[in-house]
Amino acid sequence: MGALGIFGVVVFALGIAASVALHEAGHMFAARAFGMRVRRYFIGFGPKVWSTTRGGTEYGIAALPLGGFCEIAGMTALDEVTPEEAPHAMVRKPAWQRVGVMAGGIAMNLLIGVVLIYLVAVFSGIPNPDADRTPRVGELSCTSDQVDERTLADCTGPGPAERAGLRLGDELVAVDGQPVESFIQLRDYVVERPGETVEITVERDGGRQALPVRVDTVSRINPKTGEAFEAGAIGMGAAPVKDAVKQYGPAAAVPATLKLSGQMLDSTVDGIIAFPASIPGVVASVFGAERDIEGPVSIIGASRAGGELVERSAWSVFWMLLASLNFFLALFNLIPLPPLDGGHIAVILFEKVRDFLRRLRGLPPGPPADYTKLMPLTYLMASLLLFVGVIVMLADVINPVRLFG
């Protein structure tokens, strides 16, 4: 990676750090708006480099610029508060205000993501949320072996797909009964089945046809090792998506940004759900297995990807990647487990439901939740997050995700 790539790595890492710091600022702004006492707000961690105190809050910069933290007086009943802080303690505020404070960081990351997408939409162009991305046949050709990293051997005549009856413009519906959502999905399925016959279902002229396709066996080169291996090929390429990327004016960019943000949030939810199942693959990649480009990455891997994008002057994708990361931070923090924000929100909601049930029985509200009972779960979750984080960082150093091979 050259100097420009290293510059991109640094800028993306700073973007991640700023996103985390602004997440904490979201907590601070909400707490101050509700009259809570914010003791400290620091950018970075570790030894203090500089600080100043204003309005009862110490603002400062720490030595390691990796995010930040916000300390609010009386976040739980376990926190000791001074007599002066007591009226402003978070634990004494209404439940909706406490939920608002914990959601403040989440809202900040969502806002950052939306603003970044809007700016890219206006100044460069974003993936068109209204584009028709139905996978279609755009090319039919013969199949041949791979000669080098960039070249296939010459060949003539029809390939397996064309011989089986596929036509240009066919909509790809399924392969062996499995729905096809993208051309890449079909390609990866075929690559793993040299010499086999697969059934490709297409939609043509309003009707569906199931076409058996005999997969050719060809030679391909592993870009990491340079070694040849057998792969399947059927001689078919994807049709380009019309208006796949679109630039918008300031007004038109608003609905387009909101629609694309919704689509990206849906994808983020799917990624978080699939996160646990992806960990074994990350562990295997540390020992040489192929790294899944769609799997989890750490700040190291994400920053490296940012560097690759800057090397190729793909700044719009760079900022979209940072927006996607902010959406992940927002939704991941919503998981209702301590020590995440969602865990604190779950405790507050538990108290409200408990007090409602107590009122139905003619009883007074119960005391604040006893966080000591949650400490074992908190330590367990923190340990798991630390363990997974270390594994992913190790994979990003030993076997990093490469966007461009």
> What burial letters (b/e) apply to 276-288, b meaning 16+ CB within 10 Å?
eeeeeebeebbee
- State the Cα–Cα distance between residues 134 and 131, nearest whole angstrom: 9
217, 195 Cβ separation under 8 angstroms: yes
- CA separation for the pair 7, 364 (Å, rounded): 60
Q: Is 24 a catalytic residue?
A: yes
* Alpha-helical regions (H) of 251-314: 253-286, 299-311
Distance CA 280, CA 291 (A): 11
Per residue in 98-116, is it b (16+ CB within 10 Å) or e — as a string?
bbbbbbbbbbbbbebbbeb
Give CA–CA dist 295/331, Å, rounded: 17
How far apart (Å, rounded) are the C-alpha atoms in residues 21 and 43?
A: 6
Q: What is the 3-state secondary structure (H, E, C) of 364-393?
A: CCCCCCCHHHHHHHHHHHHHHHHHHHHHHH
Peptide bond into 400 cis (omega under 30): no
CB atoms within 10 A of CB 9: 21
Residue in 24, 85, 308, 311 annotated catalytic? 24
> How does DSSP assign 2-50, residue by residue?
-HHHHHHHHHHHHHHHHHHHHHHHHHHHHHHHTT--EEEEEEEEEEEEE
Active site residues: 24
